[in-house]
Amino acid sequence: MRGLWTMVANDLRLRIRDKSVFIFSLIVPLALMGVLNLSFGSFGTDSVELKPAVVVANSGDGGQLGSALLETLDTLPVMEVTIRTVPAGDVSRETKDSGADLGIVLPADFTTAVTAGRPVAVQLVQGDAARMETNVLVSVVDGLLEQFSAGTVTATAGERAGLPHQVLGDLARQTASGTPALSLSEGQAASGQLSLKGSLVAGQAGLFLLFTVGFGVLGLLAEREGGTLARLQSAPVTRGSIVTAKALVGFILGVAATAVLLGVGSLLFGVSFGSPAVVALLVLAVAAAATSLTFIVARLVRTAEQANIAQSILGMVLGIAGGAFFPIQTSGFLAGLMDLNPVAAFIRGLGISAGGGGVADVAVPLVIMLGFAAVAALASRLVPDRGSRG
């Protein structure tokens, strides 16, 4: 056991001195995260910042409802609105010439017509810019008019019931300007999925983990080609211990690089992956799954160049299929097969953790990754060792 850890410590020192480890494990994925964030990061925002808007209005109505409509627009909480009052004949021209977002013309009998149950028309003039702010203003006015129309319905129903005209007016006014009996409160349920920015960070960390753990097997093959492997085998250590030491080197490098990528990515892109303890378990599990592939690669190839190609192919296939760049939507048997991908399980586990999930909640992703590691390690024992025959 002492010899095993001696080899691990020696190889780690060599790999840390090798600049290629830092380039391919940290610099390249961080640069790629930045490029992807610049390209797609805006799609992952949960809110849109509305710019200040200008409304050109004319209200010949001196009643309560006309004033309430304009006051509501003036005090919108979602954006700043400036209301300019002009004569009715100038609303359309002023809206176009000044670049205002919306023009409104309220008829002189607006409040009276609503409370009396008579139909009434409100003229809206959209500005030439046709911005999102214009659509918001139109939606607000439309919602207010729908509420006011409820007063018309109330007045009509009251008139048919034979109520006095004074009572009809009061009922219509209360219905049009009163508080709704029911209110809607919007909440957000935990979806178990990462935001777009979180998926980019997690996906790139999982993808480059598959490359990072390959440095262990590359060290093994480099020693085989350089002849130092034969000298190591003449020492009182078994071949299995040598392979295990190389795998541990890849595992340790993978865990460290993935932890750094997730930490730096969280700070740069403003995302959170939840409990550090749960994230640590997921990182250890996916690193074990990725490292298990190196056992198979080490037995299938004869040279470090072949190992580099094989590791790249496996990394890209598993990374892309696991959603390192974009989610893969499948169904049926293929969907079940894709769920066994350790990169996909890692991203899914981080989504659960980011939503507040604990260790029990990420049990399925953990089982998938550890099961993948066990199956791959067992399969490597059944694969012929081509390197030993070279």
pLDDT tens for residues 235-258? 555 656 777 777 788 889 889 999
Both 39 and 62 in a single domain?
no
Give the predicted TM-score (pTM) of the model.
0.60
Look at residue 260 in the predicted model and tell me its pLDDT. 92
User: Mean of the pLDDT values across residues 352-365?
Assistant: 91
Among 127, 148, 176, the domain boundary falls at 176
Residue 114: alpha-carbon gap to chain centroid = 47
The number of beta carbons lying within 10 Å of the beta carbon of residue 370 is: 18
Residue 18 pLDDT more than 50? yes
Using CA atoms, how far apart are residues 278 and 273, in angstroms rounded to an integer? 9
Both 16 and 87 in a single domain?
no
Residue 48 domain-assigned? no
Using CA atoms, how far apart are residues 369 and 364, in angstroms rounded to an integer? 9
Higher pLDDT, 320 or 192: 320
Give the mean pLDDT of the chain: 77
Both 202 and 331 in a single domain?
yes
Residue 291 domain-assigned? yes
Look at residue 188 in the predicted model and tell me its pLDDT. 44
Both 82 and 157 in a single domain?
yes
Both 111 and 205 in a single domain?
no
Both 77 and 21 in a single domain?
no
Residue 379 pLDDT more than 50? yes
> The domain spanning residue 144 has which CATH number?
3.40.1710.10
3-state secondary structure the chain: CHHHHHHHHHHHHHHHHCHHHHHHHHHHHHHHHHHHHHHHHHHHCCCCCCCCEEEEEEECCCCHHHHHHHHHHHCCCCCCEEEEECCHHHHHHHHHHHCCCEEEEECCCHHHHHHHCCCCCCEEEECCCCCHHHHHHHHHHHHHHHHHHHHHHHHHHHHHCCCCHHHHHHHHHHHHHCCCCCCCCCCCCCCCCCCHHHHHHHHHHHHHHHHHCHHHHHHHHHHHHHCHHHHHHHCCCCHHHHHHHHHHHHHHHHHHHHHHHHHHHHHHHCCCCCCHHHHHHHHHHHHHHHHHHHHHHHHHCCCHHHHHHHHHHHHHHHHHHCCCCCCCCCCHHHHHHHCCCHHHHHHHHHHHHHCCCCCCCCHHHHHHHHHHHHHHHHHHHHCCCCHHHC
Work out the burial of residue 244: count CB atoms within 10 Å of its CB; fewer than 13 is exposed, 13-18 middle, 19 or more buried: middle
pLDDT band at 353 (very low <50, low <70, confident <90, very high): very high
Both 80 and 25 in a single domain?
no
Both 26 and 57 in a single domain?
no
Residue 132 pLDDT more than 70? yes
Per the CB < 8 A criterion, the answer to whether 249 and 12 are in contact is yes
Residue 20 domain-assigned? yes
Look at residue 131 in the predicted model and tell me its pLDDT. 77
Both 166 and 208 in a single domain?
no
Range of the domain at 97: 53-176
User: Mean of the pLDDT values across residues 62-73?
Assistant: 80
Question: How crowded is the C-beta side of 169, counted as CA atoms within 13 Å?
Answer: 8
Look at residue 225 in the predicted model and tell me its pLDDT. 59
Among 176, 208, 242, the domain boundary falls at 176
Write out the two tokens for 366. Answer: 């953990």
Both 36 and 57 in a single domain?
no
Using CA atoms, how far apart are residues 56 and 82, in angstroms rounded to an integer? 8
Using CA atoms, how far apart are residues 237 and 312, in angstroms rounded to an integer? 30
Per the CB < 8 A criterion, the answer to whether 79 and 50 are in contact is yes
Higher pLDDT, 207 or 237: 207
Torsion, Cα 209 214 215 216, to 10 degrees, reads 110
Both 108 and 31 in a single domain?
no
Among 142, 176, 210, the domain boundary falls at 176
Using CA atoms, how far apart are residues 4 and 364, in angstroms rounded to an integer? 32
Residue 341 pLDDT more than 80? yes
pLDDT band at 20 (very low <50, low <70, confident <90, very high): confident
Residue 59 domain-assigned? yes
Least Cα distance to 137 among 216, 70, 213, 204 occurs for: 70
Write out the two tokens for 102. Answer: 């919306």
Residue 181 domain-assigned? no
Residue 348 pLDDT more than 80? yes
Both 239 and 203 in a single domain?
yes
Residue 184 domain-assigned? no
Residue 188 domain-assigned? no
Residue 281 pLDDT more than 90? yes
Look at residue 239 in the predicted model and tell me its pLDDT. 59
Look at residue 150 in the predicted model and tell me its pLDDT. 61
Residue 186 domain-assigned? no
Phi, psi of 134 (to 5 degrees): -65, -45
Total of domains in the chain: 2
